[in-house]
Amino acid sequence: MTISWDRQLEDDWFELVEEKVRGYLCVTEDLPARWHLLPQQLAELLSTIAPSPPRTFIADAIATTIGLLIGTWKEYVERFTSTASPDLLLSYLRSRPQLEDFLKAVGWSVATLNDHSSLALTDLQERLCRGEGGTAKEYQHRFGISIRQPEFNCFVTIQDLDNAAFTLGQTFPVHGSFVVGRQRKHNGEPDPICFLEYPTGNRLVIAGRHQAAQCSREQLLICLLTPQHVYVKNISDVISVKMQVAQERSAENAGEEHPSELLPQRTQMAALGCGETVVLRTPFSIVLPTKILRFSKR
């Protein structure tokens, strides 16, 4: 008897696919060494389905797998950020399978996204919600498709250090990676403060080109690992910066009701020397000679 594809069969297979993918993505320290296999594992699993599922099912299976992958990455960072080096975590993020890898594994071309643009939107939403973030403009560049821009989850506000308590400052969404620095000499960058998108990498310009004492031309490399975890590297050769982070509440205060309403949040200051890296959890601030950069999650 020939089995036809129906709602019950779809639900049964979808439950199995999700169960298998969760098994593939068991959060252990070696997860980044295994996840490059995930696109092919999913493709092989889909190939066992009989009768062959409709393309909408395959698109949904890829979207769900990507959501589980990025959610697992967030869990991985939360679990291992205190033991893995910042540079190692950043290299893991960059090795994570991308949407293109899943399309290739199931034999779909990038042009398929013209008929399944919701797959690209899901990928972007997951990255903004639990991963490193991205923009609809990026997907236009990568795939030639137009999707709406979901809300950003992480922001940076730039204020003058001398009157930071009295000014709102300028705020920009934070996603992916970018360099913080002062204006470059010869490429006509606009006056600070501005966020500039380049094919070779984005820049947040916070000082004029002649203000060398305030900020190096390339001062900081900022990379989101998740909306809560931010990789920061001081790439300047001459200017150290300070990090202002919220202190964890002590055990004796843990049981207090609404402690933030009773006491101001305590912060601690630490230096980030030239060439040093760190992963900070939002909210935190980076203090430069004349500017303070406040990172926060929506």
Average pLDDT for runs of 10 along the chain of length 298: 77 95 96 97 95 94 98 98 97 98 97 95 98 96 96 96 84 97 85 90 94 95 98 97 80 49 69 97 96 94
Residue written as token pair 């309403």: 261
Task: Name the token pair of 139.
Answer: 């997907």
Q: Please state at what angle helix 7-24 crosses helix 38-47, rounded to 10 degrees.
A: 150
The count of C-alpha atoms lying within 13 angstroms of the C-alpha of 15, restricted to the half-sphere facing its C-beta, is 6
Delimit the domains of the chain by residue range.
7-143, 154-248+261-297
How far are the Cα atoms of 6, 40, 155, 195 from residue 285, in angstroms, in the given order? 54, 41, 11, 18
Would you call 149 exposed, middle or buried from its count of C-beta atoms within 10 A (0-12, 13-18, 19+)? middle
Q: Which of 128, 133, 66 minimizes the C-alpha distance to 97? A: 66
pLDDT of residue 264: 52
What are φ and ψ of residue 12, in 5° steps? -65, -45
Question: Is the CATH number 3.30.9.10 carried by domain 154-248+261-297?
Answer: no
pLDDT of residue 251: 45
Read off the pTM: 0.90
